[in-house]
Amino acid sequence: MKGTMKTLSEAIRDRRSTPSFDGEPIPPNDLRMILQAGLDAPSGYNMQPWRFVVVQDPEQRKRLRAASYNQAKVEEASAVIVACGDRDGWRKDLDEMLRLGREGGMPESYAAQAAQTVPGYLSSFSDEQMTGWLNKQVTIATTHMMLMAEVMGYDTAPMEGFEQDKVCEMLRLPMSYWVVSLLAIGHLKGPDKFEGGRFEMAHTVFGEEYGKSLK
Ligand SMILES: Cc1cc2nc3c(=O)[nH]c(=O)nc-3n(C[C@H](O)[C@H](O)[C@H](O)COP(=O)(O)O)c2cc1C
């Protein structure tokens, strides 16, 4: 970590999708702090279906680049976090989720209901629904990591430009895994990306119902 931490507002204001990285390794404690911010994210029923593969080895980064439409920043970044969801995570993790919850004061009535509802809800999903559910959960965790990295003075680049089958194969992911996105982390090399700009709030935000402006 270089210098003092930025505030969250500063990190949000300054963040750009980094076009090029200098490749300097990230100290392991910094990386763990970034990862922990992701693991602290909220998830549906607290099922935490995310799984992350951290790629730092230069040869492995090169292979990941080849599975990511040859995007140079995949190879240049200090670390690339491959953010995945496990379609079957809930089957293995339900009991542990309930145990942790009870430890933190989860009421017995809530635990009993969750033990019924979670398997009923998630086992009814089509493949497409499960993918959508995983995309939601994993993206919140990845966003936590991206912003924590920015607060700590790192530069980041979220990426969806990769080939699902190739990434699964090169990382030897289990069949139940779905790759949601990549998050490259490191330090900017050269000029930063242009500011893309954002639509006016009136274009994307409504008040009370569609089409009404927010008061
Ligand atoms: C989910 C997601 C996937 C993205 N995938 C890529 C990508 O594969 N390659 C890339 O160069 N930029 C990628 N981007 C970066 C976007 O182009 C960028 O966020 C957008 O242009 C706004 O610029 P800014 O992030 O600098 O504000 C991705 C961004 C998001 C949020």
Q: Whose CA is nearest to atom 4 of ligand 1?
A: 159
Which residues sit with their C-beta closer than 6 Å to ligand 1?
16-17, 71, 158-161, 181, 193, 196
Question: Which residue from 120, 100, 122, 121 is spatially nearest to 111, judged by alpha carbons?
Answer: 100
So what's the pLDDT on residue 204?
98
CB contact at 8 A, 78 and 23: yes
So what's the pLDDT on residue 3?
76
How do 155-159 and 79-86 pair as beta strands? unpaired
Distance 17 CA to ligand 1 centre (A): 6
Q: Whose CA is nearest to atom 22 of ligand 1?
A: 196
So what's the pLDDT on residue 43?
98
- Give pTM, 2 decimals: 0.97
Distance 189 CA to ligand 1 centre (A): 17
Residue 58 CA to residue 56 CA, distance in Å, equals 6
Question: Which residue from 175, 165, 214, 198 is spatially nearest to 16, judged by alpha carbons?
Answer: 198
Distance 16 CA to ligand 1 centre (A): 9
> Could you tell which of 160, 188, 192, 193 is best to mutate to test the pocket of ligand 1, judged by most ligand atoms within 8 Å of the CB?
160
- Digitized pLDDT (tens) for each residue of the chain, 215 residues in all: 767 999 999 999 999 999 999 999 999 999 999 999 999 999 999 999 999 999 999 999 999 999 999 999 999 999 999 999 999 999 999 999 999 999 999 999 999 999 999 999 999 999 999 999 999 999 999 999 999 999 999 999 999 999 999 999 999 999 999 999 999 999 999 999 999 999 999 999 999 999 999 99
> Could you tell which of 20, 73, 143, 159 is best to mutate to test the pocket of ligand 1, judged by most ligand atoms within 8 Å of the CB?
159
The gap from C-alpha 58 to its chain's centroid, in whole angstroms, comes to: 22
So what's the pLDDT on residue 1?
76
